[in-house]
Structure 1
Amino acid sequence: MEPVSIFLSSSVIAALVAALVSLRTNERRIHIENVTQERAKWRNSMRCLADSLIKSTQKSDSTEISALCSQLALNVNPFDKEDISLIEAAEKLATSDDKGAQIKEFTERMSLLLKHDWERAKREAKPWFFRGDEARRISYKEFAGECPSLLSEPSKKSLSLLLYFVTLSFSAGIIFFLAVGLTEPFQKLVKIFNDPNDVKPFEAWVQFIFWSIFCGSMWSAAYLWFKASEKRFLEIWFRK
């Protein structure tokens, strides 16, 4: 067999694919070990900060509350409305007449912040095709019932359920027809191109690899679409 044929053999292609998968796996591992763990540390520090603020409020230590509020401001987004409101709620702990109610508001706002970050961390730790929609931070007004929740509209849930069922069925159909239509032809081609007694020209190898990658990518994309639709469908179904 010619050197070109050896280089383009199925075993070499499989090794290249395995190397790419290994590279992607290592990238995800590094991301999880660094970014995700640092965010976990941030959540723990925010819990400790909230605990210190509540204890200082109960002791009526306005100086300590002011210092802790400064630390809180350094750990949140200065451009986010909910984060700004969280800082304001913390600052009111030093001056509020009803400390119990103010502590309750501050605790709830902090809980919403930590919950949102936890949902983001869980989403980012999943493979991209299983992540679904971006985690939405629930506002304090929505949580307190001062405005209607966007997540509680049954019509939107039903529409989403129907949409993902349609995409689930459509992607399953694509997988079925690709499997039925391409299995036998590609089995024959693989046998032909791996026959050591029949040397193929370079152009034939290029065409074979191109169509193999193209058809394989179509099948993979349909499968990922199917799995993502399945996941979202089940999430919405069990949330109803």
Structure 2
Amino acid sequence: MSISKWLGAALGWSFGGPIGAIIGLALGSVVDSMADGDGFPYLGEGEPRKRERPRYRKRPNYDQYTERKTTSGDFEVSLLILASIVIKADNHQDHRELNFVRQYFANMYGKERANHAFKLFKNINQQDISTRQVCMQIQRMMDHPSRLQLIHFLFGIAKADEHVAEAEVKQIYTISGYLGVSSRDFESIKEMFYNSVDHAYKILEIDKNASVEEIKAAYRKMAKKYHPDRVAHLGKEHQEGAEEKFRQVQQAYEQLQKEKGF
């Protein structure tokens, strides 16, 4: 499948607004590079194929919509753009962070689809991106469970080089705010990549003096919020990715069960 056909089939709301402009510029660079013989040999890709004329669906009028169903393609594109922002936050692009993104896409989508994604990512990464504009489009169009999954992925990138720089944490926090993710949800997901004294409490979004009943109620609430079925509309691959958050909630609850003896 050519990259133009992949985009035409996968993208929904993200092919409009500021994200559409970023992708349009990146795609133009990809097509030009392919025409010049740059095959982008990522993840075992072979010789570049003959250039095909891009075929897109009619671009939607972004301003007409207040909510559209998020597709897997919309989620992928959002990941690529936000990943670029976070990776550049500390003014140092570590190869381990880039490999994390590449491997994540390979595991989630397979080599061919990951190749298409990285052809775009290489060119997205060269652009100056307005974090606020991009995030406001995502916040407006993407459902809350999918936005939580985005934040989880971004912390995974930041932790890929075994050190989360303060600049990266601040950037993800800024992104969270623009995405309409609460501070408590941000801290809950952040704690999944740390191991502080109040680790389990922070994941469950409760105070360390919480009663047994409050802990049980918090667990039910968080298990529902992070259940993989909440992102079923993004495809099976994203349900599997969401299972990590769900496991962390279960582990936090089991830890408190042992500590409190209930």
> Normalising to structure 2: TM-score of the pair?
0.24
Higher RCO (CA-CA < 8 Å; seq separation 6+): 1
Structure having the higher helix fraction is 1
> Normalising to structure 1: TM-score of the pair?
0.26
Q: Which has the larger radius of gyration?
A: 1
